[in-house]
Amino acid sequence: MTFESFAAWRARAEKYFDRRDWWRLGPGAVLRSTLRLAVSRDTASGRQEGIDDRDPDFVDLACDLFEVVGERYFRWEVHGVHHVPAKGAALLVGSHNGGIITIDSLLTIAAIRNQYGVERAVHPLAHDVLFQDERVRELSIRFGTLRAGQAGAAAALQAGRLVLVYPGSDYDSTRPFRDRHRIELGGRTGFLELALRERVPIVPVVSVGTHEQLIVLTRGDRLAKLLGLKKLFRADVMPIALALPWGISSGLLPYFPLPAQTTIAFGEPLSWPDLGPEHAKEPAVLARCYREVEQRLQRELDDISRGRIPFLGRR
C-alpha cells in the first residue's frame, strides 16, 4: 500500500471510525466483553443478528486492510479459492487456529472478496463474547458476522450466501503447538446437521502459519473444567501460551501475532446428494459424514504443510 493509497483508505475509514475507537477497540474491549458475558450469562447462541445488516463498503474497507497485512506481514498465499462456488449457498468448514486472534477467518474472507468481489457475502459465525460490547458488536455485524448457532446460519444459507464455521471452536484453536498440523473438530456435528437440512455443499478450508503466530504450550481443558469456564464463558479451555508481548501467559489474552508465513487453502466441495433433511439427526449418517469432512480437511492440511519450515513457509 503506497502513501497515496493509504491516505485514500484512511479517508474511507473515517466514515466508520473516530479517535475514540483506538481505546474502545483495543485489548480493553476483550476484557470488557468477557466480563459482561460472565455477568450477564448472555449465551443466546443462534440469535439472528440480521444478515442484511452486512455493509459491503465496510467489508471492502476491512478486506483491503487484511490483504495488505496478509501480503506484507504474513507473506500470505492462497490456494484453491476457485473451489468456493461463485454463486449459491455453501458452508465453509475450517480448522481453527491462533487462539482468540482470528487471522485465519479474516484472510479467508479477504481471499473470497478478491476472487468474487465484495457482493459475494460471507457470514462468519462467532462466539457470544463478540456481541457483548456495543461498539465491537456494531462493527462485527457490519462485517456480516453472526452469532454462532443454527438460526442465523440457516437464514444466510437460505438467502444463497456463504457461511464460515469452525466446528472445533476454542478446542481446535488452542491445540498445542506440536499438534498444529492436526485437524481436531472436537466431535461436533452441528455443522453437518445444518448442511443436510439446507442441502448445501461443504467447502473445506485450512491454513498453516496461523497456529505459529502464538505458541500454545497446553490447551488447559482440565483447568477450564476446574474453574467452571464452560458455565461462565462458554469456554472449554484455559490455554497457556507463549506470545507477544506477554511471554508465557494465558492464551485467552489478546496478543501481537508473530510474522509467520501463512497459507490459506480451499478444497473441493463435499456434498451428499443421497442425503436430505430427514437424515440430519441420524447418528450413523452424521458419523460417516463427519469422518469424510475430517479426512478431507486433514488431507488438505497435509498438502500445504508438507515440507514447511516453521515460521518461514515451504522450502
What pLDDT was estimated at residue 47? 45
What pLDDT was estimated at residue 44? 46
What pLDDT was estimated at residue 137? 87
Task: Determine contact, residues 212/198, Cβ cutoff 8 Å.
Answer: no
Using one digit for the tens of pLDDT, what is the confidence trace for 100-136?
A: 888 999 999 999 999 999 999 999 999 877 787 788 8
Beta strands across the sheet bearing 215-218 = 215-218, 240-243, 247-250
CA gyration radius, the chain: 19
Task: Determine contact, residues 262/76, Cβ cutoff 8 Å.
Answer: yes
Strongest mean pLDDT among 190-204, 210-224, 229-243: 190-204
Q: Which of these ranges, 23-37, 74-88, 191-205, 259-273, has the smallest mean pLDDT?
A: 23-37
Percent of the chain with pLDDT over 90: 69
What pLDDT was estimated at residue 21? 79
Rounded average pLDDT over 216-231: 86
Percent of the chain with pLDDT over 70: 90
Residue bearing the bigger pLDDT, 21 or 150: 150
C-alpha angle with apex 183: 70 to 185, nearest 5 degrees?
Answer: 105
What span, in angstroms and rounded, lies between the C-alpha atoms of 114 and 228?
42
Q: Which residue has the cell 506477554?
A: 246
Neighbouring C-beta atoms of residue 15, cutoff 10 Å: 10
What pLDDT was estimated at residue 228? 82
Rounded average pLDDT over 211-227: 90
Q: pLDDT confidence of 233, banded at 50, 70, 90?
A: low
C-alpha angle with apex 131: 199 to 45, nearest 5 degrees?
Answer: 45
Average pLDDT, rounded, for the chain: 90
What pLDDT was estimated at residue 121? 98
Q: pLDDT confidence of 190, banded at 50, 70, 90?
A: very high
The set of residues, in sequence order, having a beta carbon less than 8 Å from that of 249 and lying 6+ positions away, is 240, 241, 243
What pLDDT was estimated at residue 18? 87
Using one digit for the tens of pLDDT, what is the confidence trace for 20-57?
A: 877 777 666 666 665 565 556 554 444 446 789 999 99
> What's the grid cell of residue 231?
458455565
Rounded average pLDDT over 57-70: 96
What span, in angstroms and rounded, lies between the C-alpha atoms of 60 and 117?
9
Q: Which of 196, 190, 200, 145 is nearest to 168 (CA)?
A: 190
